[in-house]
Amino acid sequence: MTQTQANPPSRRAIVLYGRASFDHGQALKALATALAGRHTARGETVTVATAYADLSGPALPGVLADLERDGVTEALVIPAMVPADPSLSEWLPGALSHWAATSGTAMAVRLAPPVESALDLPAALDRIAGGLSDSIAKDVRETEPSLGKPGWSAIPEHGRQVFVCVGARCLHRGAEPLYQHLRTVMKGHRALNAGPRRVMCARTSCLYPCNRGPLLVVQPDAVWYGDLTPAKIDRIVTGLLLSDTPETADILHSNRPVGQAGDAPMG
């Protein structure tokens, strides 16, 4: 990789693309810091950023756009999930190409093979299973037996549940800011936070009709909304969630005749 080019100088960035699950992305951030440190030690100026395929992001398109705004001219995306997500190779190359074609970016974007392909996982497993196991593995009986906090047995009382897909492809299409928009709008309506209209909002992994994403489904109404925008979310809140009168033109799919999707929520 070149470090500089004549007029204008190139600025390189590496984006580690991983999952935020479980440790909220801390492990990936630590890897990014370590990688940046190695480049610095070699006297190379490279920005190392992180992007996520799940949960709260930030998603890859937003990270790439931010890097370009910061003056980056060449970005290398490295899928850094271990184990690698086999579906990634089926959609990420095309999705990045789509982003490059539609965003108007002038930045060079390259996609590396998954980092897993460069690792010797059997050797790593062998090291752990071998002589090191006594020093790093803890006897399970040293931990108090428990299946979780006592409060985790209670079923929450919600009239409806809204499931917002933040699978990798919906996240790529901007699902996370839309989810945050939904939460913000809902907070402004008391009826949605207490009583029979109380709504539980949850982010989910892939719900399958990815090409219609970003999308959400409202249960128990079984009403699907796709190609979400902030304005569409506003209409879902005021129409279906607050007054049982959904805007039928917004509905992507419903398992019952449109117009009856808003039966009175359960108490």
Containing 25, the helix (H) or strand (E) segment is none
Cα separation values, 213 from 35, 65, 172, 185, Å: 33, 20, 9, 20
Told to check if 95 binds ligand FES by CB under 6 A, we report: no
Contact with ligand FES (CB under 6 A) among 11, 19, 169, 197: 169
Name the minimum Å distance from CB 127 to ligand FES.
36
CA-CA distance, 161 to 199, in Å (whole number)?
A: 6
Q: Which of 199, 210, 236, 240 binds ligand FES (CB under 6 A)?
A: 210
CA–CA distance, 188 with 24 (Å, rounded to integer)? 27
Residue 209 contacts ligand FES per CB under 6 A: yes
- Residue 5 structure tokens: 């080019």
Of all residues in this chain, which one has the CB nearest to ligand FES in the complex?
A: 167
Under the binding rule (CB under 6 A), the answer on residue 191 touching ligand FES is no
Task: Please identify which residue in 25, 57, 114, 167 interacts with ligand FES, judged by CB under 6 A.
Answer: 167
Cβ closer to ligand FES: 11 or 173? Answer: 173
Q: Which of 97, 127, 202, 208 binds ligand FES (CB under 6 A)?
A: 208
Size of the site for ligand FES (CB under 6 A): 12
| Joined tokens for residue 163 | 């499931």
Torsion of CA 12, 110, 166, 63, to 10 degrees: 20
Least distance between ligand FES and beta carbon 257 (Å): 24
Please state, in angstroms and rounded to a whole number, the distance separating the CA atoms of residues 18 and 78: 9
**Distance of closest approach, residue 163 Cβ to ligand FES, in angstroms:** 10
CA–CA separation, 82 and 102 (whole Å): 30
- Strands in 12-18's sheet, in edge-to-edge order, are 46-52, 12-18, 74-79, 108-111
In angstroms, what is the minimal distance from the CB of 173 to ligand FES?
8
Q: Is 182 in the site for ligand FES (CB under 6 A)?
A: no
* 207 scored as a contact of ligand FES (CB under 6 A): yes
Choices 51-59, 142-150, 164-172, 179-187; region in contact with ligand FES by CB under 6 A? 164-172
Closest distance to ligand FES from the beta carbon of 250 (Å): 17
Contacts with 107 (C-beta within 8 Å, 6 or more apart), sequence order: 64, 67, 68, 72, 73, 74, 75
Measured between alpha carbons, how far is residue 136 from residues 128, 139, 143, 235 in Å?
8, 10, 15, 54
Q: Is the Cβ of residue 111 or residue 165 nearer to ligand FES in the bound state?
A: 165
User: Does residue 100 interact with ligand FES by CB under 6 A?
Assistant: no
Does residue 170 touch ligand FES according to CB under 6 A?
Answer: yes
Distance CA(157)–CA(116), nearest Å, equals 43
Within residues 215-234, the interface with ligand FES by CB under 6 A covers: 215
**Residue ranges in contact with ligand FES by CB under 6 A:** 165, 167-170, 206-210, 213, 215
